[in-house]
Each structure stands twice: as C-alpha cells, then as structure tokens.
C-alpha cells in the first residue's frame, strides 16, 4: 500500500456503501480493502481481521494468557504456582530444588521423561527413585514406591487440570496419588496445557478416553480401551483407572508447587 493510499480519507457515502455491502454480502462491486487503512476498515467493518502477527506467535500468546490465568487460579486455591512456555524451562525450575544426595521420587510420567528430568536429576547429584523401569522386579517396584512416600522431593505430572485450578488424577496402584496427598517434604507437579479441561468431568473424560487407551496400548495391557480406543468402565484385572483423585487445595502442612507448561507434553 502506497503512502498516498494510507493518507486517503473516505467519504461518508463510501463508508455507508461498504457497510451495506458487509450487511448484504451480495454486491457486484467489491469494497476497496487494499486501499483502506486499518482504522477505516475497523470503522466500516469491525469483523475484518488485521493480521498483525504469525500464527505461531498468536498460539504462543494464547498459551501465555491461559497459563497465566491458571497460575492465578492455582494461587487463589493456595497452591504455589508458576508458568513456563517450554518444558525445558519447567525442568530447569524443578532442578533448582535438587541438591546433591537428596532423594527424588518420580510419579510415572511420560511428560517428565520428555523433558529429561530423570537424567538431569542424576547429573545434579540427586538420588532418583524411579519405579517404572522394566529391569526391576515387582517386589523392588513396591519398595521404591513406598520410599517415594517419604522422599525429600516428589516430582510428578498431573493427568488433568481444570480451568479453576483443580488437579485431576487417575491411578492404577495408587502410589502416585498417595504421594501427591501426603509424605514427601516437597512436591512439584508439572502439568502442560494439553491436559486442561473446563471441568472435572471434562478432565476425567479426556483421561479415560485418550490417556488411558494410549497407556494401555503402550504397556500392552489387555483392556477393552486398548482395542476400542475409548473407556467401557471395564472390570478387567488389568484395569489401570482405579483410584480417582481431585485436589482442590494443597494438603495441610505441605510444600506444594504446580508448574504449568505451555508446550504440549505427554498425553
């Protein structure tokens, strides 16, 4: 657009004509979009988009808005809370609490694996308590899960978070929700915005019909949702959705921080 076009002033008749066009949507004469300034477009048609940024920037700003809103809601609910756009920033924040020799419990989590926390904790001198390895025996797994209840720092993800700042989790054995509720000296929950639901019901629906079928397929669990792709509220012995936890406030006398991440993590 030339400088002359930017400076051009439209007459009231021209703007009225344009407004009539927008109202009817069947004029043979196209409106002069290319010749109008942004201000004139807004006067003539408030529904015309003025694209001022890339779609990636718009997505990032949208996530920032939602993330900051969640932080406000979480703090209103007495949680400590922080927001970071990326998983790496969230991992760095969690690592700032790790000191050499500290016992660090982990709730089984793809999100934590994706941001490299297991290896990072080892490098920082922490003693990781990880029960999800395929190389340890069942009795060893139970022993690790019990130790997680009294560890120095417990780091977990959350299956879901509501818009008003409640944490929603579904567990099979109950070790993860038990450690979230009581035991560790400090707890950090890292939850990404793809786990956000408008309500507890929406979160549970997403967990049962998205996360659980994926997890059953990954772990080769012989549950109906593995084959069907949705929950049937089964009675399978291998059922993994057994313990449901809704955390509206941090437990009494706990040091509990929720870290919200804009980047999608886990499932």
pLDDT at 22: 53
User: CA 250, 71, 171, 214: dihedral to nearest 10 degrees?
Assistant: 180
- Report the pLDDT value the prediction gives residue 102, as an integer from 0 to 100: 98
Question: Rounded to an integer, what distance in angstroms lies between the CA atom of residue 152 and that of residue 184?
Answer: 6
- Same domain membership, residue 213 and residue 141: yes
State the total domains in the chain.
Answer: 2
Strand 196-197 to 160-162 pairing: parallel
- 25 and 156 inside one domain: no
pLDDT of residue 135: 74
pLDDT score recorded for residue 201: 98
User: Does 14 lie in the same domain as 61?
Assistant: no
pLDDT, tens digit, 9 for 90 and up, residues 140-159 = 999 999 999 999 999 999 99
Q: Is 112:261 a contact under the CB 8 Å cutoff? A: no
**What residues of the chain score a pLDDT lower than 70?**
1-52, 134
Q: What is the pLDDT of residue 28?
A: 47
CATH code (residue 109)? 3.40.50.10420
The predicted structure's pLDDT at residue 6:
46
What is the pLDDT, as a whole number, of residue 177?
97
pLDDT in tens, 211-261: 999 999 988 999 999 999 999 999 999 999 999 999 999 999 999 999 999
Apex CA 173: angle with CA 169 and CA 175, to 5°?
70
Domain span at residue 173? 55-261
Residues 140 and 40 in one domain: no
Give backbone dihedrals phi and psi of 233, rounded to 5 degrees, phi first.
55, 55
> For 247, left (φ over 0), alpha (ψ -120 to 50), or beta?
beta
CB 263 within 8 A of CB 85: yes
The pLDDT assigned to 36 comes to 55
Q: How far apart are CA 13 and CA 43, in angstroms?
A: 13
């Amino acid at each position: 657009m030339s400088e002359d076009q930017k400076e051009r002033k439209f007459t009231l008749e021209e703007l009225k004509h344009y407004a009539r066009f927008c109202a009817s949507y069947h004029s043979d004469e196209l409106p002069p979009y290319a010749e109008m300034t942004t201000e004139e477009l807004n006067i003539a048609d408030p529904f015309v988009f003025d694209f001022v940024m890339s779609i990636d920037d718009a997505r990032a700003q949208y996530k920032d808005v939602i993330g900051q809103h969640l932080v406000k809601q979480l703090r209103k609910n007495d949680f400590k809370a922080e927001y970071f756009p990326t998983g790496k920033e969230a991992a760095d924040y969690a690592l700032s609490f790790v000191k050499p020799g500290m016992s660090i419990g982990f709730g089984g989590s793809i999100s934590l694996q994706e941001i490299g926390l297991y290896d990072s904790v080892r490098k920082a001198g922490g003693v990781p308590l990880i029960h999800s390895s395929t190389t340890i025996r069942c009795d060893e797994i139970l022993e690790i899960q019990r130790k997680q209840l009294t560890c120095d720092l417990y780091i977990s993800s959350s299956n879901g978070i509501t818009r008003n700042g409640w944490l929603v989790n579904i567990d099979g054995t109950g070790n993860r929700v038990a450690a979230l509720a009581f035991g560790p000296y400090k707890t950090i929950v890292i939850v990404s915005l793809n786990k956000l639901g408008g309500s507890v019901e929406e979160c549970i629906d997403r967990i049962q019909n998205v996360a659980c079928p994926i997890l059953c397929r990954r772990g080769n669990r012989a549950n109906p949702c593995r084959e069907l792709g949705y929950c049937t509220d089964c009675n399978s012995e291998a059922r993994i959705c057994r313990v449901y936890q809704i955390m509206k406030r941090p437990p009494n006398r706990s040091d509990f921080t929720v870290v919200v991440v804009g980047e999608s993590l886990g499932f």
